[in-house]
Each structure stands twice: as C-alpha cells, then as structure tokens.
Structure 1
Amino acid sequence: MSKVVDVFIREVTKECEHLCSLVSIHPFASGVENCVLIGQTLEWGKVVIRVPWDTMSRDQTKRSASRAGLEKEYKLTTFCYQHHLPAPTIYLFHKGEEVDFMIQEYVSGDRNNEAPLKEMGRFVKELHQIEVPPVFLRDAHEAITERLIKNVKKFKLIFNSSLSLPHEEELKGIFKSYPSKSRLLHMDIRPENILFRNQRVAGIFDWTNSLAGDPVLELMRIKEYGFLSSEFIEGYHEFDKEIQRVPEMARWLYQFDTSLMLTLLFRELGENEQERRTLVSLNTLYKKIKKAL
C-alpha cells in the first residue's frame, strides 16, 4: 500500500506544478474509496488532498468509477454549501491524464476520541430535512434493490451459502409498501467522516455513497454501524415517530443491506473479528426476513 501512496504523492506533486504552489505533501489517512494526503500550499495553507485508490487502475471500469465517485464528492460538497451544511471548502478539483484528485480546506477537530452522539443525531436529523429529487442523486430503493441482488450472489459464491432473498420485483414491492420520503442521505455516517469541534459538527465529508431516499434507510445503516445509541436518538428529534412510519420488513431489509455489505467488505480486508461480528447480525436479520415472508 505504501508504494501506491508514494506513486500518488509523486503524481500529485507533478500535476500541482502547474496548478498551485504545493510546498509539502505526506500521507494522512486511508479510506475505503480514497487515499487522503496532507499538504501545505502557499495559496491556501494546510490542505487535505483526496485521491481515489483506483484513479490509476488499468481496469477502465474501476478507473471510471473512481472518477465518478470524486465528481460526486465535489457535487455533494457544493450542494452542502447551498444548504449551509458544514463542509470543507474545495480549492481545486482536478481531473488529470494520470491522476484525479481534490484539494480541500483542512478542518481541525476535537482530539477527544469519543464522538458526541447526541450532536451526531441532531446533525443527521438536520440532514434529513433536505429534500432532494432522484434526478440529482440515485434513488435509494433502486440502488439497494440492485445492490442486494448483486451482494447476495457474491456472498453465496464466497461463503458457499444458500442465502436467498425475494426476487427483484418483490423487493421493489416491499419498498413501495409505504409512503417513503426523498431526502438527502449521506449513507456513511460515522465519526471518521464527521469532524467535531467543541462538541458540534464542524465538517462532514465522503459523500461517495450518498443517495436520495427515506431517512429510515440511513438510520438502519447507522444502527448496523453501532452508533444508534440512546444519545443519538435523543439528538434525533422525533426518532420514534420517524422509525414507526416504515414497516418492519423494509427496516430489516435496510439493515440487512448494510450488514451484507460490511460482511463482504471485512472478508475482502481480512478483518476476521469484524467479519464474525457482522455475520451474526446478518444471520439474525436473515431469519427475521425469511420468517416474515
């Protein structure tokens, strides 16, 4: 991995010769989608540089997807500005022949390792007030129906399992069984993607997974991540009323989508303990779904 990061640093430095005055650059963090670098520039001071892992892939499908993901991050961050959400300023969005990257404002956060979950709940509720048409973002029900079918097939191959779910039209019917909302869903709400300062949200980023859909989909994802605590619920105004709008079957499928995704991800990353934990949750949800069908 360090060799890949070294290549990114070299290529970004070369590209920046004609774009800005980059004084220094070094590794900072590794996300699922992006390599994150820290730089120092004469124009903007300390900056964060996001480089998609597949930006230099020989697989053109992966390379195109990485570019689309970075463009989505750019578009959603701009959308945040319009709705007065705290998102780091984008100084430069660059699509190059060799490497794509984005240079953003460096935002410092609290050093406290404990995320203020009540504040996270308050902020997510604020996010879920923003109406967004599916033409701006992909419709969540369309996306997760497709993802569930694809990931079930992948799971069966990897784990030699007889896992099965309703067919595509039946899944769509379940999701259409209640009057859903179309709201801005970040779909990766974790402390790693939110910066807090003085117990308040100071910045949010990593919009690669964002969708237009019902808030309960995101809440069930947050539950599977393990952050749906009593503090979060206290911060999320009228949480119970929001949850009860959605039938149990739809809620189970929403959470199952996340559990399945995480299980496959942890298997790919070799995170055995994490994989075992998500498999327990996956099996529990699967039994509920099958029993109710």
Structure 2
Amino acid sequence: MDPDLRIDSAERLGGGIEFEVFVLRIRRRAPFVLKFPRERWISNDNDQGLDSFQILHQEYALLSRSHKYGIPAPNIMGYLCPDEGPHVLMIEGIETDAVPVDDFQLGRIVKRLHELPSSGIHPVAQRGQSASTIVARLTAARMAVVARFVELPGTLPTEEFLARYLRPIDRSPSLLHMDLRPANFLSRRGRLLGLIDWSNALTANALLELARVEEYGGLTDRFALGYGSTELQAELQRPLGLCCRLYTAAMLAIVFLSEAPDRSLATIKVKRLRDLLEQLRAVSDDG
C-alpha cells in the first residue's frame, strides 16, 4: 500500500437520522468527509418511502449547482453510486470553529439562493407533487402523529384546509434548502464556507423556507436586513405564513417526541405547535 494513502484517523461526525458522516485524515493530505446512508429506504414518523440513494445523489447534484452559482459549498472529491449500493459521497473537509455565522451574511446568501433558477430541479422530498399538495399532506399526517403522543387543541386542520391556504407557495418557486440551521453551516470566524445537507430541499415560494427559519429561531432582524425584507414577520402571521410554519412545527415536535426523544425539547416544540394552531384558528376564515 502507498504509505501516503494510510488513514491516520476516522472520526464520526454524526449525520442525523438517515445518514452517517465520517471525517478521514490521511497522511500528508487534507482531510475529507464521507457521507453514506444507514439503510436505503427511509421510514420514520416524519417520512416514509424515501430512497436514501436518491437523496444522496441530490446532495451531490445540488452541491455541484451551488458552486456553479456562487453559493458556498465544499468541493466534491468523489461520488460512488453502484446500482446496488452502497452510495458514498466524498467531499473536502473544511476546518470550522464555534463562531456562529453572521446573520446578515446568512440572509444575503439565502436571498441569493432564492433568486437562482429552479427549473429542472425535482427534489426527492417533493415526491413529484406541487409544493402546496405535499406540504399540506405531510403537515396533516405529522400533526396526526403528534396527536398520538399528546393532546392538541380542537379539531386539527385537514389536508384540504391546509392545501387551500398553501396554494400561493406554488407561485414564483425558488430552490429551497429547508434545513438552514447551524449543523449544516460549515463556517469559520463567522463566515459561511459551505452549506450542506440538501435532503429536505423543495421548490416552492421562498416564504416556506423563511417560515422554517423562523421556527428554527433564526429569523433575526439582521437576517431580515441581509435578506432585504422588513415585512417577513408580518407575512408569517397571516394564514399562509402560519400554515407554512405548521409544516416545520409538526416536524420538530415529532423529532423530539419520537425520532430523537428529548422530553424537555418535546415540551417546547409541542407548545409551539399548539400556539400556532390557536393562531391559525383565530385568523382563518373557518376560525
């Protein structure tokens, strides 16, 4: 064996619920990261029947697209995709630190992302459906899952009710990352060097992504300033914005009730979901 190819260390970085991520360090070479699925078919309380091989291929394609359009991304070093698997994505290792990404810079990058052409992109998570259809269906299904664990107030919004309010997200679609949180930011000294993990990507109106950023706690004044809009909070208080926020709130409640159980965080996320349901009931036509 070539001594220059000897692996000095392999460290598990995590990877979330569906994937494993390791960083490998090789003598006299820069470190690189391997990402591969734990198993091919994804089935949990948030998602069922998604092909992890397709999702990893999407990550490969969208990281390549990021480079093309100036969105920060790590370089792709290789992609192994035999028909029967396993599929493995290899990207450059980027040295990071604990300094958070500056919200103004993040807002500018997200705005740039939302201005890029989205034609020809068919996100795996969208399942070949319109954004309003899939978001309404998943939101209703996920709220039903939450209701198996805890009591939710009143009659839950139906898929049809949600789809009616969500129709505007089919207009002026952008490519949405849909998981803009620190775990997916490769950064150093507050500067974003790489945006990773495109598993949840959708093509829809940008409001859907901004609603998720709000539910993640990232829609700060500086983010809004960088994004170039001071009306975001007002839009998210209207029925459309509340329905968009329910999509994320239900997902997060399930994560901490079922997929990565955490009693304290589950209590917080369930309360958030209940509050949004009450707000929607108060402002909707059917309230």
Please, what TM-score do these two structures have when normalized by structure 2?
0.83
Shift in CA distance, 113/281, structure 1 to aligned 2, threshold 3 Å:
same
Does 2:89 correspond to 1:80?
Answer: no
Q: Is the 8 A contact 2:235 2:241 kept in 1?
A: no
Alignment correspondent of 1:261? 251
Q: Distance in 2 between matches of 1:284 and 1:153?
A: 16
Query: In the TM superposition, what is the alpha-carbon distance from 1:220 to its structure 2 partner?
Result: 0.9
Match of 1:6 in 2: none
* 2:122 paired with 1:133: no
1:154 & 1:162 partners in 2: Cα distance?
A: 14
- Report the more deviating stretch, 264-273 or 195-204: 195-204
Report the identity percentage: 23
How far is 1:237 from its partner?
A: 1.0
Question: 1:187-198 to 2 correspondence within 5 Å?
Answer: 187-198=178-189
Does the Cα contact within 8 Å between 1:54 and 1:62 map onto a contact in 2? no
Match of 1:45, SS state, is coil
- Among 133, 145, 149, the alignment partner of 2:140 is 149
Given candidates 226, 231, 236, the residue that maps to 2:217 is 226
Give the C-alpha shift of residue 159 in structure 1.
Answer: 2.6
- AA in 1 matched with 2:249: S
2:280 aligned to which of 286, 289, 292 = 289
Q: Shift of residue 42 of structure 1?
A: 7.1
Match of 1:26 in 2: 11
Matched ranges for 1:209-224 at <5 A: 209-224=200-215
Separation in structure 2 between the aligned mates of residue 57 and residue 190 of structure 1, nearest angstrom? 22
**Mapping 1:35-184, distance limit 5 Å:** 35-41=20-26, 45-55=30-40, 65-96=51-82, 97=84, 99-109=86-96, 111-133=97-119, 136-137=122-123, 138=126, 139-159=130-150, 161=152, 164-177=155-168, 180-184=171-175
Q: State the shift of 1:177 in Å.
A: 5.0
Whether contact under 8 Å (1:127, 1:184) holds in the other structure is yes
Deviations 1:203-240 (A, max 9, x none): 11000000001111111111111111122122211242
Distance 1:157 1:134, change over 3 A: farther
CA 129–244 in structure 1, closer or farther in 2 if over 3 Å, else same: farther
Deviation at 1:168, TM superposition (A): 3.1
Give yes or no for contact 1:55–1:100 (8 Å, CA) kept in 2. Answer: no
Q: Tell me the amino acid that sits aligned with residue 103 of structure 1.
A: M
Is the 8 Å Cα contact of residues 41 and 51 (structure 2) preserved in structure 1? Answer: no
Point out the more displaced range, 209-218 or 112-121: 112-121
Gaps of 5+ in 2: none
Equivalent residue in structure 1 for 2:270, among 267, 274, 279: 279
How many pairs align? Answer: 272
Aligned mates of 1:57, 1:140 — CA distance in 2 = 20
User: RMSD between aligned alpha carbons?
Assistant: 3.1
Over residues 251-270 of structure 1, what are the superposed CA-to-partner deviations in whole Å (9 max), with x where a residue is unaligned? 00111111110001001212
Q: Quote the offset at 1:248 in angstroms.
A: 0.8
How far residue 73 of structure 1 moved from its aligned partner, in angstroms, is: 0.9
| Alpha-carbon separation, structure 2, partners of 1:22 and 1:254 | 49
One-letter code aligned to 2:265: Q
The 2-side partners of 1:174 and 1:54 are apart by: 36
Corresponding residue SS for 1:87: coil
Inter-partner Cα distance in structure 2 for 1:91 and 1:36: 15
Q: Which string of whole-angstrom CA distances, capped at 9 and with x for unpartnered residues, describes residues 65-85 of structure 1?
A: 221221111121122122122
TM-score in terms of structure 1 length: 0.81
Per the alignment, residue 13 of structure 1 pairs with: none
Could you tell me how far apart the structure 1 residues matched to 2:236 and 2:10 are?
Answer: 47
1:211–1:43 Cα change, 3 Å: farther
- Which letter maps to 2:178? M
Q: Find the residue that maps to 1:176 and give its secondary structure.
A: helix
| Equivalent residues of 2:100, 2:187 under 8 A apart | no
Q: Distance in 2 between matches of 1:210 and 1:123?
A: 16
Q: Mark the CA change 1:243 to 1:270 in structure 2 (over 3 Å): closer, same or farther.
A: closer
